[in-house]
């Protein structure tokens, strides 16, 4: 059955589904819920905790209506044997009539807490106890309607979604059948069935993703020939004003071995903040340029690209390697000169942003492609850069850098098309950032400390989870409200800037540049400053509502300070947050990442999605053991000749599932 043939899907809804990548019945069935609402057990009013809750009781008094600041509010209270719980609906005036007064009612919503008072916000009236699937929003299709469309599509599941995994493989790994998994993933009978279903779907997608990456990887790509003499790595290290760590020597040695080989290098270098990955990247550039070829290094932001360029001029130009910068905001004359230098070979090391792969950019003899902060780029972008240098069937070598420590098991899944090098050692003398948990009531004292640091000539970051205030999350501080509050109270008189992800590119660039140049004392922002900002003078990182961030993300934010010679601090403003104590005990990013993986599961950490499509992402929400099991299964299929038939079936399913989409996978 075609989507258009389904009852309830007219031309408008068909277009809405296509806009989010749902073009077939199979796509609709594979659009799995992002979460589930547990509407199976009611909690007594006196025992509800912040978060989602189902309460059962009676609303004894008629709701009250009020309006303020363009918002409307309907308030009431639900009462049971344990006590009374306040209820509020925002911008839902119709609840004045729809709220049943004096009759038993079940309400499901989110409980918030402020100043010790708990309130049930925007609850839905529930008619039955169930596990309700919640999908990503599709513009133009109400959530209830989307659920009904999925329910209708499940009637065709046996015809349009036949089994993908060999029975023998399923038996070895205790996996349920696909049709059962799809039905229970959407509308589970109970949590045990849901667990079995999600395990099967997660395992399948992990396995298919690895199979597809393995097929995509060009194991036999011939690399650009490089004549790198023995001892070239040592000569590079001797040219630097500091001795390398053993880890830096080892990783550059692995890179050099790849570069001397016939096969094109495809290697990931990952390590903690401050481990010296840039020096390794410059070493790779020196080896390639020393053999007569060009190298390019692409960064996700203009500020980071410029920092690399300025550092390279000090490190590489004394070695006889001319460097050039190429960014989108350069003046026309500068851009023309940079393009010409890259095309005629005058420039040997080229640094830049996405401008490096823009139309009209050509290279004389590209030998090496480096992408920094790899999780901000996708396979397609690094492939596009590599393809620019293909000549006579040989392709440039590829090196990707990631400052996000990833547990090795997860890295093998994320970067299945790459060899992996880990820089697991920090240079001596680096002062660890001191991390402290701060309760909300000590906010003013904390900002007094920030003021003291500014008086010493230092700078500070303040990071918030939201850009604007939200009625639905009234206990969460926004960047804009925090900026206004600090400017008017705790940090009044200081130079306080504000930036966020969706800010106009030019304004954002100017704000970050001003902070980098020391023209601002404090920068209030969202997580836009997580990577690509290097200000050695910044000594304080304050994270508002730190409990709303993952451990790895907090570790990345912490890495924005402690980059200079001064003692640095990271303050986590949070309500409770036992998991956050991990950050107060260690600065080891790999330990933090491993703990984050255990707490949150691989799906949250990977943040993968296909081709920017808003609705269809990777499930990958299995636990760490399942991730390892799928990885082990893939290795067995590739190594055991007796499993060749199973491998062939899995690879064919992987090609059918991903095809050309795989090259557009974006690792965010």
Average confidence (pLDDT) over 35-52: 93
Report yes or no: 563 and 534 within 8 Å, Cβ to Cβ: yes
Torsion of CA 215, 216, 217, 222, to 10 degrees: 110
pLDDT at residue number 307: 86
Closest CA to 270 of 166, 399, 175, 114: 399
Please give the structure tokens belonging to residue 295: 């190298």
Residue 642 pLDDT exceeds 90: yes
Please give the structure tokens belonging to residue 501: 């992800």
Going along the chain from its start, the domains and CATH numbers come out as 1-36+139-161 (1.10.150), 41-126 (2.40.50.140), 232-423 (3.40.50.300), 434-586 (3.40.50.300)
- pLDDT classification of 623: cutoffs 50, 70, 90: low
pTM above 0.85, yes or no: no
Average confidence (pLDDT) over 552-571: 88
pLDDT at residue number 366: 92
Q: How far apart are CA 497 and CA 478, in angstroms?
A: 14
Lowest-confidence segment of 343-347, 375-379, 663-667 by average pLDDT: 663-667
Residue 414 pLDDT exceeds 70: no
Long-range contacts of 470-479 (CB under 8 A, 24+ apart): 471/71, 471/90, 472/90, 472/110, 472/121, 472/122, 473/112, 474/112, 474/114, 475/112, 475/113, 475/114, 475/545, 475/575, 476/545, 476/548, 477/544, 477/545, 479/524, 479/525, 479/526
State phi, psi for 343 to the nearest 5 degrees: -75, -40
Residue with token string 């950032």: 433
Average confidence (pLDDT) over 558-587: 86
Average confidence (pLDDT) over 94-99: 91
Lowest-confidence segment of 121-130, 388-397, 498-507 by average pLDDT: 388-397
- Is the dihedral angle over the CA atoms 98, 104, 109, 110 positive or is it negative? positive
Classify 590 as helix, strand or coil: helix
Residue 541 pLDDT exceeds 80: yes
Average confidence (pLDDT) over 81-109: 93
- Determine the longest span between alpha carbons in the chain, in angstroms: 87
């Amino acid at each position: 059955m075609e989507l258009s043939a389904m009852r309830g899907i007219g031309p408008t809804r068909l277009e809405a589904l296509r806009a989010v990548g749902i073009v077939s019945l199979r796509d609709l069935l594979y659009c799995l819920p992002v979460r589930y609402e547990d509407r199976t057990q009611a909690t007594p009013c006196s025992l509800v905790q912040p978060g989602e809750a189902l309460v059962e009781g009676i609303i004894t008094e008629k709701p009250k209506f009020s309006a303020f600041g363009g918002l409307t509010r309907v308030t009431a209270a639900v009462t049971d044997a344990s006590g009374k719980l306040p209820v509020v609906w925002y911008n839902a005036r119709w609840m004045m009539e729809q709220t049943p007064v004096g009759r038993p009612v079940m309400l499901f919503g989110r409980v918030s807490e402020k100043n010790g008072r708990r309130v049930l916000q925007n609850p839905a009236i529930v008619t039955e106890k169930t596990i309700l699937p919640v999908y990503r929003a599709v513009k133009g299709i109400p959530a209830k309607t989307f659920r009904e469309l999925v329910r209708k599509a499940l009637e065709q599941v046996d015809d349009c979604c036949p089994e993908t995994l060999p029975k023998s493989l399923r038996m070895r790994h205790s996996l349920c059948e696909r049709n059962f998994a799809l039905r229970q993933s959407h509308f589970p009978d109970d949590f045990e069935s849901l667990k079995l279903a999600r395990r099967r779907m997660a395992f399948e997608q992990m396995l298919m993703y690895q199979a597809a990456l393995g097929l995509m990887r060009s194991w036999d790509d011939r690399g650009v020939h490089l004549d790198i003499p023995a001892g070239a790595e040592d000569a590079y290290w001797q040219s630097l004003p500091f001795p390398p760590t053993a880890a830096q020597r080892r990783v550059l040695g692995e890179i050099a071995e790849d570069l001397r080989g016939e096969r094109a290098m495809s290697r990931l270098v990952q390590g903690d903040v401050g481990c010296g990955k840039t020096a390794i990247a410059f070493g790779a550039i020196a080896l390639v340029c020393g053999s007569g070829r060009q190298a390019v290094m692409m960064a996700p932001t203009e500020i980071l690209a410029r920092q690399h360029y300025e550092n390279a001029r000090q490190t590489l130009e004394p070695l006889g390697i001319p460097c050039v910068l190429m960014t989108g905001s350069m003046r026309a004359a500068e851009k023309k000169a940079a393009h010409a230098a890259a095309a005629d070979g005058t420039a040997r090391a080229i640094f830049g942003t996405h401008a490096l792969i823009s139309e009209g950019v050509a290279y004389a003899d590209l030998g090496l492609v480096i992408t920094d902060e790899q999780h901000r780029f996708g396979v397609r972008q690094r492939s596009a850069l590599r393809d620019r240098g293909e000549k006579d069937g040989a392709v440039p070598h590829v090196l990707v850098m990631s400052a996000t420590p990833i547990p090795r098991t997860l890295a093998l899944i994320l970067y299945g098309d790459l060899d992996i090098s880990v820089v697991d050692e920090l240079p001596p003398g680096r002062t660890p950032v001191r991390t402290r948990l701060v309760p909300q009531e000590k906010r003013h004292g904390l900002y007094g400390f920030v003021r003291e640091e500014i008086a010493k000539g230092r700078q500070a970051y303040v990071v918030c989870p939201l850009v604007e205030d939200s009625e639905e999350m009234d206990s969460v501080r926004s960047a804009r409200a925090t900026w206004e509050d600090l400017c008017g109270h705790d940090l009044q008189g200081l130079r306080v800037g504000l930036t966020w992800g969706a800010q106009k590119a030019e304004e954002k660039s100017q704000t970050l540049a001003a902070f980098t140049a020391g023209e601002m004392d404090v920068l209030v922002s969202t997580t836009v400053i997580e990577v690509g900002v290097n200000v050695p003078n910044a000594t304080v990182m304050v994270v508002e509502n730190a409990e709303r961030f993952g451990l790895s993300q907090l570790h990345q934010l912490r890495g924005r300070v402690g980059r200079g010679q001064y003692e640095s601090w990271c303050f986590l403003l949070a309500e409770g947050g036992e998991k956050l104590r991990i950050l107060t005990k260690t600065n080891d990013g790999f330990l933090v990442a491993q703990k984050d993986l255990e707490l949150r599961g691989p799906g949250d950490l990977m943040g993968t999605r296909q081709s920017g499509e808003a609705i269809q992402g990777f499930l990958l929400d299995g636990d760490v053991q399942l991730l390892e099991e799928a990885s082990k299964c893939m290795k067995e299929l590739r190594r055991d000749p007796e499993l060749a038939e199973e491998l062939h079936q899995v690879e064919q399913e992987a090609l059918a599932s991903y095809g050309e989409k795989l090259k557009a996978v974006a690792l965010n």
